[in-house]
Amino acid sequence: MTTDTIAAISTAQGRSGIGVVRLSGPDARSIATRMLRLRDDLAPNHARFASIIDEHGARIDAGVVTWFAAPHSYTGEDVVEIAAHGSPVVLEWIVRRAITLGARAARPGEFTERAFLNHRIDLTQAEAVRDLIDAQTLEQARVAAEQVGGSLAARIRPAKENIIALIAEMEAGIDFAEDDIDTLPSEAIVERLNAVRAPMEELLASFAYGRVLHAGVKMAIIGRPNAGKSSLFNRLVESDRAIVTAIAGTTRDVVSERVSLGGIPVELMDTAGLREATDEVERIGIARSQQAMAEADIVLLVLDAEAGINEEERHLIGAMRNRSLLIVQNKIDLLGSDHTDDATLNALSESLGHYTATHRVSAKTGEGIEDLRAAILNLLRGSAVQERSGVLTNVRQQQAVHRSVDGLHRAHQAATSNLPHEMLLLDIYEALRGMDELTGETTPDDVLGLIFSTFCIGK
């Protein structure tokens, strides 16, 4: 347990209706009461009206104060929250006053760090608190909220219990080998390792969705001039963000906008049409298009359905074989009413082989845009099913689970080659260590410090 008391403004910087200063630590309550005039004493989990007073008893503000008694608080320590009017001057004064009375200014994330150190939450829950605050889409928030509730730890719990049971039995077998206790047969060990490995591998696979959900993706819209890239871009971002004209070579620079697709943050980039540049500005613009294409996680190639496909586009498609590529045939409105059977379109689809799934849209009328959105979303999620409870959302978590799966894998090999149990145990311990690393039980202090330093002050 920590012995000092920390204080910080927990609400956002700037003016607001209400602002909250939070205190946590053994002296939280005594420090708070010395700057408050209360009609009724503080009581655990009860809000109290109070005047906030300076050292001479003069009133600075009035607010609502709540005391959460240890250990039933966010940090596990005594916590007092003073909700005053949201004036930065007042809130900063309250923190200064608390410091004068014996508190210390909290570091970023220190409240959550204390919650972790006091075993109120594990490391995945702490990370989820940060993710929840940082969420840019509702889907990110939902997944984070589940994780704050401990869904990730819950997901590995059965595997961890099984591993510990297996270790205990194997250790007993080694320790009492002379006392005639049966050592586990290799087949039984392999079977039990498999039972643990399967869910851990599934968890590892969840990172595909978690990463996309967490970090978002970049998507570049490319194609020849006048194909309708900017028009499509505007459709997808649902605003007239990029300039659209009938002049080929309208877009000269990369225009980007963040949108949420199915809750996944997507940075959409409209680019200059690819062709032989006619001047210096266009040359630079096209170089930037190439750059955007190289950086993008997904490339959306826009073809002009009426004009068909040219050699350059065919070449580009060939070069994108190992990338995530969506081919869009735009301007289908120009093909007449029965374009679903259009010979040019179908011929193109067939000629593309691997990419038969081209998407037919009209950026002008909006036809096909919803289907395109759905196709993009499918590609974003990849093979990963949309999982809500307990997905790995950062590289640290992924590496921890990786360590565990690697250990299980090696243990499996050792067991099938009948290596001595002492050797096998080393790998199984490694698997356990990976699990503990995920929840923070064996995470070194400097790593913890790094994690919590990415939090906001006051959380």
230 binds ligand GTP (CB under 6 A): yes
* One residue of 230, 362, 393, 397 binding Mg ion per CB under 5 A: 230
Residue in the shown chain whose Cβ atom is closest to ligand GTP: 273
25, 30, 31, 39, 101 from 79: Cα distances, Å = 7, 11, 11, 20, 16
* One residue of 25, 249, 390, 407 binding ligand GTP per CB under 6 A: 249
58 binds ligand GTP (CB under 6 A): no
The residue among 266, 228, 270 whose CA lies nearest residue 369 is 228
Nearer of residues 254 and 457 to Mg ion, judged by Cβ: 254
Could you give the CA distance from residue 251 to residue 237 in angstroms, rounded to a whole number?
Answer: 16
248 binds ligand GTP (CB under 6 A): yes
* One residue of 362, 393, 397, 404 binding ligand GTP per CB under 6 A: 362
SS3 state at 28: helix
Could you give the CA distance from residue 115 to residue 122 in angstroms, rounded to a whole number?
Answer: 8
The footprint of ligand GTP on residues 189-228 (CB under 6 A) is: 223, 225-228
Burial degree of 228 (CB within 10 A; 0-12, 13-18, 19+):
buried
Nearer of residues 213 and 335 to ligand GTP, judged by Cβ: 335
CA-angle at 313, arms to 312 and 315, nearest 5°: 65
* One residue of 364, 402, 409, 433 binding ligand GTP per CB under 6 A: 364
Distance of CA 178 to the CA centre of its chain: 52
CB of 308 to Mg ion, least distance (A): 20
- Give the chain's end-to-end CA distance (angstroms, integer): 18
Q: Which residue has the tokens 């049966």?
A: 182
Q: What element of type H or E holds 269?
A: strand 264-270
The footprint of ligand GTP on residues 317-336 (CB under 6 A) is: 330-331, 333-334
CB of 271 to ligand GTP, least distance (A): 8
Identity of the residue numbered 425:
L
The footprint of ligand GTP on residues 171-190 (CB under 6 A) is: none
**Contact stretch for ligand GTP (CB under 6 A) within 159-167, 178-186, 229-237, 318-326:** 229-237
229 binds ligand GTP (CB under 6 A): yes
Nearer of residues 91 and 361 to ligand GTP, judged by Cβ: 361
60, 75, 92, 104, 144 from 134: Cα distances, Å = 33, 20, 24, 26, 10
Site string for Mg ion, 247-276 (x = CB under 5 A): ---xx-------------------------
**Total residues at the site for ligand GTP (CB under 6 A)?**
24
Nearer of residues 10 and 230 to Mg ion, judged by Cβ: 230
- Determine contact, residues 31/102, Cβ cutoff 8 Å: yes
231 binds Mg ion (CB under 5 A): no
Question: What is the CB neighbour count within 10 angstroms for residue 97?
Answer: 21
CB of 219 to ligand GTP, least distance (A): 15
Q: What are phi and psi of 420, to 5 degrees?
A: -60, 150
Could you give the CA distance from residue 405 to residue 395 in angstroms, rounded to a whole number?
Answer: 15
- Token pair, residue 423, equals 């050797």
368 binds ligand GTP (CB under 6 A): no
- Token pair, residue 388, equals 């809500």
* Residue 66 partner contact from Mg ion, ligand GTP, none using kind-dependent CB cut-offs of 5 to 8 Å: none
CB of 218 to ligand GTP, least distance (A): 18
Nearer of residues 250 and 399 to Mg ion, judged by Cβ: 250
Q: Where do contacts with Mg ion occur on this chain (CB under 5 A)? A: 229-230, 250-251
Q: Where do contacts with ligand GTP occur on this chain (CB under 6 A)? A: 223, 225-231, 244-246, 248-251, 272-273, 330-331, 333-334, 362-364
